[in-house]
Amino acid sequence: MKRIITSLLFVSMSIISLSVKAQVSQTPLKIDLSVKGADVQPTMWGLFFEDINFAADGGLYAEKLKNYSFEFDNPMMGWNRVEENQANGYTYAMSYTVAGPNKKYIQLKRLNAIGTLGLQNSGFRGIGLQKGETYRLTFQARKVSGNAQLVAQLIGSEKALLGTAVQKQLTSEWTGYELSIPCSETDKNARFRLLIEGEGTIDVDMVSLFPYSTWKDRKRGMRKDIVQLLADMQPGFLRFPGGCIVEGFDLENRYQWKKTIGDMAGREVRVNRWNTEFGHRPTPDYYQSFGIGFFEYFQLAEDIGAAPLPILSCGLACQFNSGEIVQMGADLEPYIQDAVDLIEFANAPANTQWGSVRAEMGHPAPFNLRFIGVGNENWGPQYIERAKAFAEVIKARYPDVTIVSTSGPSPEGKEFDYLWGELKKMNAEIIDEHYYRQPEWFRENANRYDKYDRNGPKVFAGEYAAQSVFTVSPDNQNNWNCALSEAAFMTGLERNADVVHMASYAPLLAHVDAWQWKPDLIWFDNLSAFGTPNYYVQKMFSTNRGSYVVPVTHDNHSVSGQDNLFASAVVDTATHELIVKIVNTAQNSRKINIDLAGKFKLAAKGTITEMAADDLAVINSIEEPQKIAPAESEFEPGKKSLVIEVKGQSFSVAKIKIK
């Protein structure tokens, strides 16, 4: 029996030993620091913003009230009539006698002085209120008759009164009013009431509620928590306003930047094209107030240190929808003029036509626009002829502005090949490629740009996201499998920085209760926001951009998936650091032995930031916002080497000072 036990023990220890060896395999790599590769563009890693998933109204834009100006097709959408405790009166939707973008207002008529009468707004799937926060209520009003007054209330989800303010005196002319409402409790699903007290009739319009605490404390500003997540990424650019929303489902519905600037009363509210786009997530209450318009996009880009990249309609509506087209010649000229005027709005002195508009909005200095996109996911000869017309005029007026062209909605196929061929003939500067594919595609295509023409147009990886199921599925998840696969793909983008000049995940934002498309980089509800695993992958690249690429090889080949390993490396000349990015898609841990060639001296210690999970299906959530997130530790290098142990199914960024 003892011999059997001893034999079994020997076998067990052998199995454990073999298991340990299997779990921590060793992989030799080489980095030659004497070989300076391609420069990494300051714009390499950036942000793609589109108003989908309630990303603007109900999200980034801190406005609490839906349909604040009563300009939805149904002017009462978002509002409910309140008539309680024997109150007697009426509410009417009224039209202004003078035509303009702001067409409707509401009349409140009170016939007795008892009970509660007025309007209630439910916000965007509820109104998020914070205890101790003070809210700024602004509105337009005029007294029509009687001596009634207006009372504003914050009502909790359990119907408790959380805050109130009163406007007693009203004039008989349209006048702007402002009230402050302190809030006594935190509530994610609160309501707002505007009530008429006493007898009489009052007209109201532009009823708006914001926290005083917004990004940079701007009046009518943006949510601090969401912008902070964007700023933390240190993005190289901000692309706006989309996306398919640029094109519209028809040309009337396209994004028109001139209608999104100036005073809010002059911004024309429009139905959002995503409100009925997906049968699995219909959102008929999804409109655009344009509280975030082109001025605010430029301002946001400036705030977070990102180069602005506006995309404009080229005269083609979405070819998946109506495919409506503007004829060449005189009909297309207003579209081209919009592009020229936008550059003037962004860059020209304050004494020019459009520069003066920018200055009047509070920004006399130029925004330094260096890029402009013509079209989004358009294809066919009709796109090429319009792209040529835009380029001819833009380059004649503004030769230093780089034009971004589109390669259509797919990363391969007949239309993709046709557009690339024609755009090369045009000497296109940057071509926008989009990829929404499953995780395997991203791992298999990490070497996509290794064989691209080094002297041809540069690439903007403008929209990409791994799909856990398949594109346009409500079951898609922002899981670690997707994020890890994106990290593998991104090492290929970085390795080919001489070809790829810009890259951005898409879409950027989504409301947990009001989304249309999954997956998305950042999710939020009415009170908080969190980054997905994909967000942290993007952040680990963008905050470790570096200055130029150095080659990472295994057996004299780039490390792009052999034995489930992906790697790239850069040198940062500002911080004097070598930065190595390693993706291990295998389940087992491994030691990475990196031999360093060249003349250099290493610091005594380096840092490694790692994300890893045994479960590829793990996700973050409102309840567990950092279930998977980066963790940092230190490592000690050899004299001429780095020895880094990486976990299974991990993405690691190793940094060390070099001289």
Give Dmax over CA atoms of the chain in angstroms. 105
Measured CA to CA, the distance from residue 442 to residue 612 in angstroms comes to 18
Angle (nearest 5°) at CA 195 between 194 and 201: 115
Give the DSSP per-residue string, 613-631: -S-TT----SSSTTSS--E
Task: Residue 97: count other Cβ atoms within 10 Å of its Cβ.
Answer: 5
If phi > 0 it is left, if psi is from -120 to 50 it is alpha, else beta; for residue 110 that is beta
Under a CB-based contact definition with an 8 Å cutoff, are residues 387 and 405 in contact?
A: yes
Q: Which two tokens stand for residue 232?
A: 């933390």
Question: Looking at the DSSP assignment, which residues form a beta bridge with residue 196?
Answer: 150
Measured CA to CA, the distance from residue 25 to residue 584 in angstroms comes to 12
Q: Which residue has the tokens 């995940």?
A: 505
Q: Which two tokens stand for residue 497?
A: 């920085």
Task: Residue 27: count other Cβ atoms within 10 Å of its Cβ.
Answer: 20
Question: Looking at the DSSP assignment, which residues form a beta bridge with residue 581?
Answer: 568, 653
Measured CA to CA, the distance from residue 463 to residue 557 in angstroms comes to 28
Q: Which two tokens stand for residue 236?
A: 């190289």
Nearest by Cα to 372 from 434, 274, 298:
298
**268 is an active site residue:** no
Q: Which residue has the tokens 């344009």?
A: 290
Task: Residue 576: count other Cβ atoms within 10 Å of its Cβ.
Answer: 12
Dihedral in degrees, nearest 10, Cα atoms 243, 247, 248, 252: 150
Q: Which listed residue (50, 247, 344, 377) is catalytic?
A: 377
Judge residue 128's burial from the number of C-beta atoms within 10 Å of its C-beta, 0-12 exposed, 13-18 middle, 19 or more buried.
Answer: buried
Nearest by Cα to 29 from 656, 595, 563, 606:
595
Helix (H, G, I), strand (E, B) or coil at 29: strand
What single letter denotes the amino acid at residue 590? R
What single letter denotes the amino acid at residue 415? E
Q: Which two tokens stand for residue 629?
A: 């997130």
Q: Which residue has the tokens 């914050």?
A: 154
Q: Which residue has the tokens 């004494």?
A: 351
Measured CA to CA, the distance from residue 420 to residue 416 in angstroms comes to 6
The CB-side HSE value for 356 (13 A sphere, CA atoms) comes to: 3
Measured CA to CA, the distance from residue 641 to residue 556 in angstroms comes to 17
Residues with catalytic roles: 377
